[in-house]
Amino acid sequence: NAGVTQTPKFQVLKTGQSMTLQCAQDMNHEYMSWYRQDPGMGLRLIHYSVGAGITDQGEVPNGYNVSRSTTEDFPLRLLSAAPSQTSVYFCASSYSIGGHEQFFGPGTRLTVL
Amino acid sequence: TQLLEQSPQFLSIQEGENLTVYCNSSSVFSSLQWYRQEPGEGPVLLVTVVTGGEVKKLKRLTFQFGDARKDSSLHITAAQPGDTGLYLCAGVNAGGTSYGKLTFGQGTILTVHP
C-alpha cells in the first residue's frame, strides 16, 4: 500500500494564480482532510470530507475549495493564490471521523510570491 | 474553537537528559493523540490516550492524559539523538460542530545533542 500520496512536493506560484494540490489514499478510508502547517501554529484544518460527495469547512477554509468524487481522491484547489497561503499543506486520511489514527501524506511546500 | 496550548515550543538538550512536553486546554477532549514529525515528512501517530488519568508507555516515552481530559504530557527518559523531531499533541473534539475533528497544539521542536 502506498498510503497517502500528495503531489506536487514543491510549488511556487505568483499572486493570483490558481492551482490544485492532489491527494490520494489507497486504504479505503472514509475520512479525509486537508491541513496547513505554519511555524508556531501547529496544523490547522482547512476542509474535510466524511465520504464521497460530502465535504465541509474546517477552521481556515477561505481561499480554498475541495471536492470528493471518489473515496480515494481529495484535491485541494487554490482559487487565487495570495502570499498568506504560503505554507506546507498536508493531506490526511483515517477510517472515520472521531479519533482514529490519521495517516498523513508527505506534504506540499507552497510558496506564493 | 477549542484551543490546545503546547509548551515548550523549543527544547534543546544533551543526550541522556529527561524532558517533559505539556499540552493544556480549558476544553474537554474525548481523546488525545501524540504525533511525531520528521523534517520533510508528515506527522506519524505515536499514541492515543482515551481515559482520564490514563498512562501509556512506549519504550522511553511516557504519555499521560489528565483526569479531567483537558491536558496531557509526554515525558522522555534518557533522550537520544534519534528522538530529535517535532512533537505534536492533538485533541479529539468532544462535541458541537467540531465533533471528532482534531485540534493541534503548536508543536515542540526537540533537539537532542550527542
Judge whether residue B1 has pLDDT over 80: no
From first to last of its 113 residues, what are the pLDDT tens digits of chain A?
789 999 999 999 999 999 999 999 999 999 999 999 998 888 999 999 999 999 999 999 999 999 999 999 999 999 999 999 999 999 999 998 888 899 999 999 999 99
Q: Say if the Cβ atoms of A90 and B6 lie within 8 Å.
A: no
Q: pLDDT, tens digit, for every residue of B6-56? A: 999 999 999 999 999 999 999 999 999 999 999 999 999 999 999 999 999
Q: Give the CA-trace dihedral at A86, A19, B44, A94, to 10 degrees.
A: 130
The whole-angstrom distance between A106's CA and the closest CA on chain B is 5
Find the CB nearest A98 among B42, B45, B92.
B92
Res A45: pLDDT: 96
Q: Give the CA-trace dihedral at B65, B66, B71, B75, to 10 degrees.
A: -50
| Residues of A in Cβ contact (< 8 Å) with B50 | 99
Nearest to B78 by CA among B10, B8, B13, B7: B13
Judge whether residue B101 has pLDDT over 80: yes
The whole-angstrom distance between A67's CA and the closest CA on chain B is 18
Res B2: pLDDT: 72
Q: How far apart are CA B105 and CA B110, in angstroms?
A: 15
Q: Say if the Cβ atoms of B100 and A90 lie within 8 Å.
A: no
Q: pLDDT, tens digit, for every residue of B64-84? A: 999 999 999 999 999 999 999
Q: Helix, strand or coil for residue A83?
A: helix
Arithmetic mean of pLDDT, B77-94: 96
Find the CB nearest B101 among A42, A90, A97.
A97
Q: Say if the Cβ atoms of A43 and B41 lie within 8 Å.
A: no
Nearest to A40 by CA among B9, B35, B11: B9
C-alpha cell at A78: 487554490
